[in-house]
Amino acid sequence: MTQPYIIVLGNEKGGTGKSTLAMHIIVSFLKSGSSVASLDLDARQGTLSRYLANREKTRKDYDLLIPTHVSILASDNPDRKAAEQEDSEHFSDALTQFQDFDYVVIDTPGNNTPLSRVAHACADTLITPLNDSFIDLDLLVRVETGAMDALHPSVYSASVWDYKKEKASRSGLPMDWIVLRNRLSPLYSKNKEEMFRILKSLSKRIGFRLLDGFCERVIFRELFINGTTLLDLLDIETALTLSHVAARKELRDLMAALEIPVQRRALEEKEAKVA
């Protein structure tokens, strides 16, 4: 039986665009004809869940594709071990519901929680978006003044290394870890060049693939309000601007660079319909 391919958007910092990226990945898969489930593990803030709720409202006027969605609120059990057990069970129950889907896209909170840890450990592809700043760089490595070429992995990087070993030991399958430079300035800057140099060097030492995500654009804040993505603009009868076209190309390039396998189930269903 074909298992769903699991994509986790994760890091331990908020404001990096995880939910926006998750939504665009979800809709990209849906428009390819795949079955998609989404899981919001940051139910307290609930950005992805609100994004999808906005999409449901817009769907009344336009024919928009939508995933099967579940949101999990972290346990409030005062006993830490009991709370972690409850979170793990709720997560496992959700994945059991999604066994017949091609893809599961998981949005995690911007901090270290039991739910986030269990999601990281089961990722087939882990995407860690970062803003182009040395504050965000500190998520991956310990940044020290005057020692930018002698950086040490952070607690988060060490944790991802452990998750990768755990997954390989449990399933025999590798985890593809992608660090995504996101919300990029379209203008050249010395900081931008230095961030790329450091991250490129770190990618070999820490074990991730380095990709570029989206440039910083007003359109992404506007899309959230009606629950749409760059791929829905024509469906909601929006006249495309040059900025929209450029952003859509960024998305196409990103989806290709992620190199996420096409699930056999989706191909088989398409072939059956043609036959």
Q: Which one has a higher pLDDT value, 132 or 94?
A: 94
Q: Compute how many other C-beta atoms are within 10 angstroms of the C-beta atom of residue 146.
A: 6
pTM of the entire predicted model:
0.91
pLDDT value for 149? 55
pLDDT value for 181? 93
**84, pLDDT greater than 90:** yes
**62, pLDDT greater than 80:** yes
Question: Is there a contact between 122 and 163 (Cβ–Cβ < 8 Å)?
Answer: no
The structural domains of the chain, with segments of one domain joined by +, span 5-274
Tell me the CA distances in angstroms from 268 to 28, 37, 104, 240, 258, one per residue in order. Answer: 19, 19, 19, 34, 22
pLDDT value for 129? 94
pLDDT value for 142? 75
Q: How confident is the model at residue 45 (pLDDT cuts 50, 70, 90)?
A: confident
Q: Tokens in use for 156?
A: 């988060």
| Number of separate helices (H) and strands (E) present in the chain | 10, 9
pLDDT in tens, 1-28: 578 999 999 998 888 899 999 999 999 9
**243, pLDDT greater than 60:** yes
Average pLDDT over residues 211-228: 91
How does the average pLDDT of the chain come out, rounded? 89
**Helix (H/G/I), strand (E/B), else coil: 91:** helix
pLDDT value for 150? 52
Question: Is there a contact between 72 and 43 (Cβ–Cβ < 8 Å)?
Answer: yes
Strand-pair partners of 123: none
pLDDT value for 196? 86
CATH classification of 5-274 is 3.40.50.300, yes or no? yes
- For residues 170 and 91, what is the distance between their CA atoms, to the nearest angstrom? 17
pLDDT value for 183? 86
pLDDT in tens, 146-171: 555 556 788 899 999 999 999 988 88
Nearest partner of 213 among 253, 240, 262, 246, judged by Cα: 253
Q: What percent of the chain has pLDDT over 70?
A: 91
Q: How confident is the model at residue 135 (pLDDT cuts 50, 70, 90)?
A: confident
Q: What percent of the chain has pLDDT over 90?
A: 63
Q: Tokens in use for 182?
A: 């996101």
